Amino acid sequence: MLKKIFGQLHLWLGLCSGLVVLVVTVTGAIMVFEDELEPLLYYKFYHAEQVQAARLPLDRLKQQAETVAPVVNITMETDAPDRNVVFSCLENKVFTLVAVDPYTGRIAGQMKEKGRFFDVTEDLHRRLLAGDVGKAITGVSCLIFLF
């Protein structure tokens, strides 16, 4: 009788925790390639229209980005001449990514940090898109799976 109870417990806990662990592992595997995939997903945002001989000074690009909101971080791909300079701007506790063409100085695009593909993927990975409840579920599921 006890063997049957433990067998059923093992089956159902394993199935439930296994599904959660599957979601966590697949989203984790996707997140590993964020740096490579995000410029492909948002190609026009990350790539300059035309590479020219000289880039504009960084302070001029920053001034252009600050027309959107105050800049808190700058991301530049120095080994990729076709990449836009991406500024993280923060206003009213909302992060906005602003891409500025390093050759023309024009704003190539803006996007809110929340709602991007990898932001949603990370939330699914950590919290199953369910906030604190999802965080508890992933934690418990991983512990069950471990044992």
Q: How far apart are CA 41 and CA 88, in angstroms?
A: 18
pTM for the full model?
A: 0.79
pLDDT computed for residue 78 by the predictor: 83
> pLDDT (tens digit, 9 = 90+) per residue, 24-35?
999 999 999 999
CB-based contacts of 125: which residues, under 8 Å, 6+ apart?
Answer: 23, 24, 27, 28, 31
User: Where do the domains of the chain lie?
Assistant: 1-34+129-147, 43-115
Half-sphere exposure of 75 (CA within 13 A, CB side): 14
Confidence bin at 60 (pLDDT 50/70/90):
very high
Q: Are 145 and 21 in contact (CB under 8 A)?
A: yes
100 beta partners = 85, 107
Q: Please give the order of strands across the beta sheet that includes 85-91.
A: 71-75, 85-91, 94-100, 107-112
End-to-end CA distance of the chain: 22
Confidence bin at 142 (pLDDT 50/70/90):
confident
CATH topology (fold) of 43-115:
Nuclear Transport Factor 2; Chain: A, (3.10.450)
> pLDDT (tens digit, 9 = 90+) per residue, 105-117?
999 999 998 989 9
> pLDDT (tens digit, 9 = 90+) per residue, 63-93?
999 999 999 999 998 888 999 999 999 999 9
Cα 90 to Cα 66, 87, 115: the distances in Å are 10, 10, 16
Tokens, residue 114 = 């929340």
Tokens, residue 115 = 């709602």
